[in-house]
Amino acid sequence: MNPTITAYQYSYITQQVNQLVSSYLAVNDKHMRQVIRDTTIENIRQLLPEDEPLAKDFLTGLIPDRLSRKTAAELLPMLEPLVFPFPTLSTKQLGKLFRKVKKLKQPEWSGLNLHTLTYLGWNDGGSQKKYLVAPFHDRLIGLQGDLAPETVKGVCAICQTIGNVALFVSTTKRSGLGTYTRNGNYICRDSAQCNRQLTDPQALTDFIEVVQPKR
């Protein structure tokens, strides 16, 4: 079985399923529930391989009226074999992405679901730093920046969702005179949650354009 969908498409499917369950709790009219269900299934069907039995089984599982949150939560992991996982990077590979960081804190790989990651992000609370590894122009790049200790409610520049965000600021340009330019934006403090909410990679690309070092 070969992967066919991206992590952000999987996040979109997850959101569609969660919205379907929520509509069942809010809508009493059976016909209206059927319309919502059929629309949701069609939105999801467009992203899945037509002849894949696993995808067919997943869509069939969405058909029962008043799908429960428990059943939905059990259905969603069925699709993970179809998702391109984020690559597991060795210490050496990460080091090459962050050459200027002398003591790079490693992400906790064991706690990550790689099938839900469009990008990799982790915090170093001791140094108030945040590290990101993200696809950019068909390759992985490493970004580091200062993460403000204050968390506020706001819109994340990466996932475009309202949540607990903090200001991420990186040095984007240095001159020989000791001056430098810093740029940043508010992003989710919890990168795993951010990934679960990310359904459009363009916002991630736009964010990288702002915070990546300029030559």
User: pLDDT grade, residue 79 (50/70/90)?
Assistant: very high
Say what the pLDDT of residue 163 is: 96
Summarize pLDDT for 22-65 with one digit per residue, the tens: 999 999 999 999 999 999 999 999 999 999 999 999 999 999 99
The whole-angstrom separation of Cα 160 and Cα 206 is 11
The pair of structure tokens assigned to 96 is 């090459």
Say what the pLDDT of residue 192 is: 96
- Closest CA relative to residue 161, chosen from 130, 200, 122: 200
Dihedral (C-alpha) 21, 1, 115, 95: value to the nearest 10 degrees? Answer: -170
- Asked whether the beta carbons of 86 and 120 are under 8 A apart, the reply is yes
Q: What is the CATH number of domain 7-82?
A: 1.20.1280.250
Kindly list the domain boundaries of the chain, sorted by start residue.
7-82, 91-211
Q: Would you say the C-alpha torsion 26, 28, 31, 37 has a positive or negative sign?
A: positive
- Closest CA relative to residue 6, chosen from 160, 133, 114: 114
Cβ count near 187 (within 10 Å): 27
Summarize pLDDT for 101-158 with one digit per residue, the tens: 988 999 999 999 999 999 999 999 889 999 999 999 999 999 999 999 999 999 999 9
The whole-angstrom separation of Cα 75 and Cα 57 is 9
